[in-house]
Amino acid sequence: MAVDDVIDALSEGRDARVELYKELHRSPELSMAEYGTADRIEQELTRLGLEPVRIGETGVLAIIDNGEGPVVAMRADIDGLPVAEASGADYASTATAVLDGETVPTMHACGHDVHIVSLLGAIEALLARGDAWSGTFVAVFQPGEETAEGARSMVAAGLVDAMPQPDVFLGQHVMPTIPLGTVAARSGPFMSAAASIRITVHGRGTHGSMPDAGIDPIVLASSIVLRLQTIVAREIAPSQTAVVTVGSIRAGSKSNIIPDSATLLVNTRAFDADVAAHLHSAIERIVRAECAASRSPKEPEIEYYDHFPLTVNDEAVTEKVRRSFDEHFGEHHVPVGAMAGSEDFSILPAAFNAPSCFWVLGGFADPATAPGNHSPAFLPELESLDVGARAILVASAPWLMRS
Amino acid sequence: MAVDDVIDALSEGRDARVELYKELHRSPELSMAEYGTADRIEQELTRLGLEPVRIGETGVLAIIDNGEGPVVAMRADIDGLPVAEASGADYASTATAVLDGETVPTMHACGHDVHIVSLLGAIEALLARGDAWSGTFVAVFQPGEETAEGARSMVAAGLVDAMPQPDVFLGQHVMPTIPLGTVAARSGPFMSAAASIRITVHGRGTHGSMPDAGIDPIVLASSIVLRLQTIVAREIAPSQTAVVTVGSIRAGSKSNIIPDSATLLVNTRAFDADVAAHLHSAIERIVRAECAASRSPKEPEIEYYDHFPLTVNDEAVTEKVRRSFDEHFGEHHVPVGAMAGSEDFSILPAAFNAPSCFWVLGGFADPATAPGNHSPAFLPELESLDVGARAILVASAPWLMRS
Amino acid sequence: MAVDDVIDALSEGRDARVELYKELHRSPELSMAEYGTADRIEQELTRLGLEPVRIGETGVLAIIDNGEGPVVAMRADIDGLPVAEASGADYASTATAVLDGETVPTMHACGHDVHIVSLLGAIEALLARGDAWSGTFVAVFQPGEETAEGARSMVAAGLVDAMPQPDVFLGQHVMPTIPLGTVAARSGPFMSAAASIRITVHGRGTHGSMPDAGIDPIVLASSIVLRLQTIVAREIAPSQTAVVTVGSIRAGSKSNIIPDSATLLVNTRAFDADVAAHLHSAIERIVRAECAASRSPKEPEIEYYDHFPLTVNDEAVTEKVRRSFDEHFGEHHVPVGAMAGSEDFSILPAAFNAPSCFWVLGGFADPATAPGNHSPAFLPELESLDVGARAILVASAPWLMRS
Amino acid sequence: MAVDDVIDALSEGRDARVELYKELHRSPELSMAEYGTADRIEQELTRLGLEPVRIGETGVLAIIDNGEGPVVAMRADIDGLPVAEASGADYASTATAVLDGETVPTMHACGHDVHIVSLLGAIEALLARGDAWSGTFVAVFQPGEETAEGARSMVAAGLVDAMPQPDVFLGQHVMPTIPLGTVAARSGPFMSAAASIRITVHGRGTHGSMPDAGIDPIVLASSIVLRLQTIVAREIAPSQTAVVTVGSIRAGSKSNIIPDSATLLVNTRAFDADVAAHLHSAIERIVRAECAASRSPKEPEIEYYDHFPLTVNDEAVTEKVRRSFDEHFGEHHVPVGAMAGSEDFSILPAAFNAPSCFWVLGGFADPATAPGNHSPAFLPELESLDVGARAILVASAPWLMRS
């Protein structure tokens, strides 16, 4: 088949791509500040003969117009994380960045460098075998996935006008939960909606020996934490998947001073818009009621950030992709349930009202011992670079490949 | 009476002492780092003709041997606090210090500068009127009261061998709770025993979307906070005075990462040794049990610090002091209950097995509107410098003054 | 088809069956005390020419041996509930029974009377059209479903020896969640495993004004209730279906007496044996740890009762049943997810190591307004008697009906 | 002294009084239903030559007018409790009564039978030695102390018009906390103000497997219980004596049914009217806020009952009583702090605007092992009958006895 021809072409630039990957892995940049990474991607696309376009500050767009036929868009996210790498690789990151005024180490702890190089590999192969396919392939290198800002920022910066209307929008993520070499997709809700909420509740500070002279915000915050547990336990249908996590609680600095306020960082997950809405309304209800129970002197501050949409795979498109995976990956096309994580990918196809499919690929030999995403030890096998490129070609095949 | 003679002498150095007070107020130093303050005190004592001795790094001892008679020791604490002054005074502190690696503003927010200058005033007057009294007056300038380290450090540095055995050990504190110009003392338990406890409980970190893959230390810490409320509410006799305050809770930094551990800073107060012991055993019991409830993978760390003894005034000594206060302060000698705060003063008389009396003096015209100790607005009236000096002379009178 | 012949025969005894149903509905009996109900069933079976056998106190078995062929067993549960009927029907229950020494009203609030009469209808039709089918049909009238005692009791009383080895074991339940006239089944886990747990925790009683003289079991029990919420919220994978409900809490009787103990009744649900095991171990862990936090003077009592197994439908058998439903019910064969409720049905096929299928049938015209099972208003439409009988015949068809 | 004369007279009817005591102890009656007890008291007073008057249903008044002089009123409360006696005495109660429709055992578990017989003893002695004293002694046998109804009921029934204006109003209680033979009184707040509150919070019932379909009132009630602990722990000054006890929590009856509501019985104690008011306002605030946190569908019901006033002993009167105790009880007059219990006694003197004094007497040899008031084992030594009578005579002496 034609797609096999294109896949064969992957061997050509492989060694250079591994080097590029190591270079990227060494120098990750934080969300919405991927200036060097975007430059490097542009450089590479230019080297391959394309004319990349910056979309916003750090988004990059490249279009391969290869004659009549459908338009397939493929997105790769490109940002790193404020994590200190402990992978032990000789190409481990030594980079740092400034975050909220503090210098922090940075790391590609979520494999976005794999995504970049896989997409560049697919592009290289498509360019090398132009006769095997027909249509338009659009590569979208997206910044700021980790903070849910990047997809929105590319749309805001004019992505829709900068590229042809896609017939299908594709995306992928490397995962530790399925074995190296495998791919998996699922129709319908695939990755959860997520939101982060910064909640500050107010007490009234006083000396620790005179609690009656103040209002204790730590007792208040702790009551909120326990009450929040009842949302998933009591208010959401047991058959629904929903998560309310308090990831951070901070108040006070001395044992004998009751502080003025406490701050919680809360994260929610849901696979259904109504459930997500219920979670948020329940959180706000509980926060306000517990403030009343404590006679808090001031309204709580409740600020949403990092808002990820639900990732829902289009049924027809996903059926096509999965059939193509079956043909080319065989038993390496594995089943998968809904994933706990979240993505801002869906914002891109939504901007075009285009159907989409997002899949995952294995990055580690043994899921049982693989480190989780965002772990300091997260280091996918180099082989995943090829698997990622192949997956892009195979997923695109139903639209682009000559039979 | 003789003591009136000595009191009259206070007028002599008054203006210079006010200037010295403003100088000290401008340049507070943190506990156990009062190098400049101790130097300045020594300088002043030398100017008055005494031969001060350093006890440890920043403690200062001065002895006035004025012939036959009892030995009266008087302690003044000398350390400042990491508070940013907002008193509005033209002599407000602009000093900073390094605390745990961070640069912080410092402030005499607990009036220890008043204590220093009051004691220097009393010394100056005693020296000026040596014929009015007989015996030995020992001035103990003690560092590190705020952290409960200073009294212990002076004892460890040889205080007992450096001075004669006192017949009585005296101490005082300026307070916003009684009016300017008044003094107050109380026999028996006067200031509470206090302890601080740093408690770290362990969970197991994981991504916020997969709570089942970890153990949530924030839910654990919050459960502990709520359970700790039941100690005072249920386990201590309602007629007892006891406090358990969680002054700080800290865990995690991102909404979507469940952290590995949480740290609580807890403060306890009690006016009875059995009650204090019960508080501590109950806190430990609850922390360990809640860790078990959460299947915490690791023993909690429970570390005591800032351990203040109960301040108990000797009955006979206090009776003498109060009678002298009655005579000299009249209606400005006011009644007082047990105080919520804590002191490490008692460690000094305990080292000598000497009876002691600790009293308080008013620092502000109107207790109803006065700022609390440790408040950024804490600024006693300058008049309190004289009141403090007079209180020392009057309290010492039963032992030292010729009749 | 042959099964249509048999279904036609349902019209013959219909009016009498409606009367029988009303009679049963008027006189429900509690679990394991269904003496009158069992007698009435036996009477009816005898009237139809069968020779029913008592299995245990109140179980009834009837076998129709109709020549060569597979053995199909069908179970109907027969017990009522301690609920005061408020259905408004002229045949509403006025019966009472003695429960734990108290006289309580009883009601067929879960439709088991529908199950009895549906099975009798199917038997009547099978007997009337013996030439349309071949094989053995075994009717199992089971007591004590509501308390999870009945299936076990029939097995203990020798059910396995009293009937031939079944090729398939069938069961059904009338539900308000799908419309009247419809049936639904689902392969795999269909109804949850459930268990009830009676937990008594001990404090030490005292006068309410002297909490320190006792140990407060109400604070202890309340802490347990809140901590139990964290099991589903934090310890079980969000994608799993699990429930921990505290359905009853009881302690004390006077405001000013702290009682000696508190009793919780807890109910768990899970669709996975590991999840169920985790729920129970977590509940026990939390109860014991909270007792330790309260320094409870005595081990808690933790007693399991009403233990319902997971109801798992055999894949091959269910496929056959569903295909038969498709043919005969057409669009009235509706899809269904896993149900929240629980059943002790599975204990019967498990005793024979026989494959089984359990389905549901609609009892109310409009699921949106239908009362829930166990509600005082639960009154399925009379038409459901026929639907239930038809469902039994259709489900049995793949094994019994001549083609 | 004259009072010794009167005390001597106690020996005269002692044996008969012990028999009467045993008779009363065997047949206790519940609050406001002390018909038999009141009859028996009247009978005894009539036997002694007095003309007792019923005040209300079960209150009894007797006046000894013995010439010129002050009027001393002495109150004895007469009701028993719904407790099953387990004292082991041969005169243990075997009585029962109907309470809220249930038959319950009754017991003099708070020693009111001692109070009755002590007062009768004092009356007998006063009558026997009329020449030793002068003035008017008024005996008030009051029903319903346990439920705080009795004093109010006697006032409502016209007590003020039925007796002369007292110069002093006295009362006493037998206690296990001081040794047999001793008496104790204290000026100022002596017994706490108390109130009981019945709180019903509403959820929405549902099947236990579908928590999302309802609102869980048990989680709500448990949250309230834990939050109530923070009132004493955080909102009341540590030096204040305050108690908030949840003595009963009741909700639901089956493990698998989430009930509609939960009921708490709460009891408060305070020695200061402002503190009591704060307790009640904080309880209401917390209950309402927690209902909001649970989105309770209906306002909670909050009903106060059993409202006991603060028992405050008049300073001048108590000084007189204590001096008399010193003279006659010597070292058996012991010091005492404020007591945790509550009394409706104060309502009587308040009705007359008369000064009052309430004291306690020891009922058991060893306070360390004595059972608490309301305990099934509460059985004061018979000797306390005499101690109680003596205490009345001694306390009255400053007003009544000739010198």
Kindly give the parts of chain A with pLDDT less than 70: none
Query: What's the gap between Cα D279 and its chain centre?
Result: 22
CA angle, residues C210, C212, C218, in degrees to nearest 5: 85
Closest CA to A6 of A196, A111, A165, A133: A133
Asked whether A61 and A38 are in contact (CB, 8 A), the reply is: no
Collect all residues with Cβ–Cβ distance below 8 Å to D19 and sequence separation of at least 6: none
Rounded to whole angstroms, how far apart are CA atoms B254 and A265?
7
Q: What is the dihedral of CA A51, A57, A60, A61, to 10 degrees?
A: -70
| Unique residue bearing structure tokens 């964290």 | C230
Phi and psi torsions of B197, nearest 5°: -135, 125
Mean pLDDT of D11-19: 96
Q: By C-alpha distance, which of D76, D75, D49, D63 is closest to D136? A: D63
Residues of B in contact with A373 (CB under 8 A): 207
Tokens coding C230: 């964290």
Q: Is the pLDDT of residue D340 over 80?
A: no
Interval A315-324: pLDDT, tens: 999 999 999 9
Q: Which two tokens stand for residue B130?
A: 């040596």
* A150 in Cβ contact with A344 (< 8 Å): yes
Interface C-D: count of C-beta contacts within 8 A: 166
Smallest Cα distance from A149 to chain B, Å: 16
Q: Given strand A53-55, what is the order of strands in its sheet?
A: A53-55, A59-66, A135-142, A71-77, A168-179, A356-364, A183-184
Does any CB of chain D come closer than 8 Å to the CB of residue B244? yes
Can you spell out the DSSP letters for D335-400?
A: ----BS---STTHHHHHHT--EEEEEEEEES-TTTPPPTT-TT----THHHHHHHHHHHHHHHHHH
Q: Which residues of chain C have pLDDT under 70?
A: none
A with D: how many residue pairs have Cβ under 8 Å apart?
63
Place B140 in a pLDDT band, splitting at 50, 70 and 90. Answer: very high
* Rounded Cα gap, residues B344 and B155, in angstroms: 12
User: Residue D274 contacts by C-beta under 8 Å, 6 or more apart in sequence?
Assistant: none
Q: Which of B207, B211, B223 sits opposite A226 (nearest CB)?
A: B223
Helices and strands (H and E) in chain D: how many: 11, 17
Whether the CB of D270 is below 8 Å from some CB of chain A: the reply is no
Whether residue B225 lies within 8 A of chain C, CB to CB, comes out as no
CA distance D42 to D123: 13
Sort out which chain D residues have CB atoms less than 8 A from C225's CB and list them: 218-219, 222
Q: Are C378 and C372 in contact (CB under 8 A)?
A: yes
CA distance A340 to chain D (A): 22
Residue-wise over C103-123: b if at least 16 C-beta within 10 A, else e? ebbbbbbbbbbbbbbbbbbbb
Q: Which residues of B touch D233 (CB under 8 A)?
A: 229-233, 244
**Cα–Cα distance between A49 and A72 in angstroms, integer?**
19
pLDDT value of position A164 = 98
Cβ(B213)–Cβ(C239) below 8 Å: no
Q: What is the pLDDT of residue B102?
A: 87
Residues B304-339 have pLDDT tens digits of 999 999 999 999 999 999 999 999 999 999 999 888
Bridge-based pairing of strands D71-77 and D168-179 is: parallel
Q: Please indicate if any CB of chain D lies within 8 Å of the CB of A289.
A: yes
Contact D341 C222 (CB under 8 A): no
Q: Region D198-205: what's the mean pLDDT?
A: 96
Indicate the length of chain A as a whole number. 403
**Closest CA in chain C for residue B291:** C289
The answer on pLDDT for D374 being more than 90 is no
Share of chain D above pLDDT 90, in %: 94
Chain A hits for C228, Cβ within 8 Å: 233
- Residue A51 CA, chain-centre distance (Å), reads 26
Alpha-carbon gap, residue C220 to C243, rounded angstroms: 22
Q: Do B289 and C290 count as a contact with CB atoms less than 8 A apart?
A: yes
| Strand pairing report for B183-184 and B356-364 | antiparallel
The pair of three-digit structure tokens given for residue D370, joined into one six-digit string: 């004595």
φ, ψ at A343 (rounded to 5°): -145, 150
Separation of alpha carbons D26 and D107, rounded Å:
8
pLDDT (average), residues B368-391? 94
Residue B173, marked binder = yes
What is A11-60 written as a DSSP string? Answer: GTTHHHHHHHHHHHHHS---TT--HHHHHHHHHHHHHTT---EEETTTEE
CA dihedral for D24, D28, D30, D34, sign (positive or negative) = negative
For residue range D167-201, what is the model confidence (pLDDT) as tens digits? 999 999 999 999 999 999 999 999 999 999 999 99
Residue C117, C-beta contacts closer than 8 angstroms, at least 6 positions apart: C17, C20, C21, C24, C385, C388, C389
Q: Give the list of residues 6+ apart from residue A351 with CB closer than 8 angstroms, or none.
A: A155, A159, A160
| Residues D355, D321: Cα–Cα separation, whole Å | 12
Q: What is the pLDDT of residues A164-178, one digit of tens each?
A: 999 999 999 999 999
Shortest distance between the Cα of C114 and any Cα of chain A, in A, equals 28
CA-to-CA distance for C143 and A93, rounded, in angstroms? 68
pTM: 0.88
- Picking from C210, C230, C274, C284 by the largest number of B CB atoms within 10 A of its own CB, the best residue to mutate is C230
User: Strand locations in B12-148, DSSP E?
Assistant: 53-55, 59-66, 71-77, 96-99, 102-105, 135-142
Q: What is the mean pLDDT of chain B?
A: 96
pLDDT in tens, A221-254: 999 999 999 999 999 999 999 999 999 999 999 9
Residue to test with chain C: of B275, B294, B296, most C Cβ within 10 A: B294
Walk me through the domains of chain B, giving residue ranges and CATH numbers: 2-190+310-400 (3.40.630.10), 193-307 (3.30.70.360)
- A216 and B341 within 8 Å at the Cβ level: the answer is no
Do C196 and C306 contact (CB within 8 A), yes or no? yes
pLDDT tens digits, one per residue of D150-162: 999 999 999 999 9
Whether C285 has its CB under 8 Å from any CB of chain B: the answer is: yes
Q: Please report the ipTM that was assigned to this predicted complex.
A: 0.84
Please say whether the beta carbons of B197 and B102 come within 8 A: no
| Beta-carbon contacts of residue D308 (< 8 Å; ≥ 6 apart) | D148, D192, D193, D194, D195, D342, D343, D344
pLDDT bucket at B221, cuts 50 / 70 / 90? very high
